[in-house]
Amino acid sequence: MTVKDKKSTFFFRNLLRGLIWLVVIIVVFWFLKNKVDVNYLAWLEPVYTNSAIVILIYTISEILIGIIPPEVFMIWALQNGSVVTYAMLILMLAVLSYLAGLIGYFFGRYLNTTLLYRFIRRKFLKKMERMLNLYGLYIIIVAALTPLPFSGVSMLVGSVKYPLKKYILYSLFRFARFAIYSWFIWEANAF
């Protein structure tokens, strides 16, 4: 298998994983919404209704290697019911995620010799570092489109001093992920 074939296989395998993750989230969301006779968000009500807290939690999660999947926040964005409001919230989430990745990039680029970065790298990023060495720019695109931790990959990319212009260009795929995933979530909500 050639290097190009390995990269393509890596890309499509992870894209498929991302799509499977999306399907699982949509099925669970639809099932809870339509088949379970309880208010599935009642226990989240104090946080769920306060947009500033939700956005703060989301931003922290995205900066800290994507602890909570963005799809959870896409479902939160459905609360208003208006397609325009939903689209604006999704755009805001996408911009925050993109900026969190950029913060991760600069964190990796300029703080890669600190004790904190070495700890994060050893605990969370070792596997992704091997993938970065093998797949290069493909890992940026895959992390932007799939559940791979986008901010973590961005830190690694910054730590190897990958060219900023290329990183900015390839990480724009993050917006495609938000557009596609949010459309599916919107449709699942209407179903």
pLDDT tens for residues 36-71? 665 655 666 666 778 888 899 999 999 887 788 898
Contact 94, 175 (CB under 8 A): yes
Cα dist. 183→41, 131, 165, 188, 190 in Å? 21, 30, 29, 9, 11
Most trustworthy range by pLDDT among 13-17, 120-124, 160-164: 160-164
Say what the pTM is: 0.81
Higher-pLDDT residue of 5 and 102 is 102
Higher-pLDDT residue of 177 and 81 is 177
**Can you state the angle between helices 83-111 and 150-159, rounded to 10 degrees?**
30
Could you tell me which of 147, 146, 170, 176 has the C-alpha nearest to residue 157? 170
Query: What pLDDT score does 38 carry?
Result: 57
Residue 2 tokens read as 């050639």
**Can you state the angle between helices 51-63 and 150-159, rounded to 10 degrees?**
40
Provide the mean pLDDT of the chain: 83
Q: Which of 9-23, 144-158, 163-177 has the lowest mean pLDDT?
A: 9-23
pLDDT tens for residues 128-149? 777 777 777 788 888 898 888 8
What are the strands, taking DSSP E only, across 70-165? Answer: none
Helix and strand totals (H; E) in the chain: 11, 0
Could you tell me which of 189, 163, 153, 150 has the C-alpha nearest to residue 18? 150
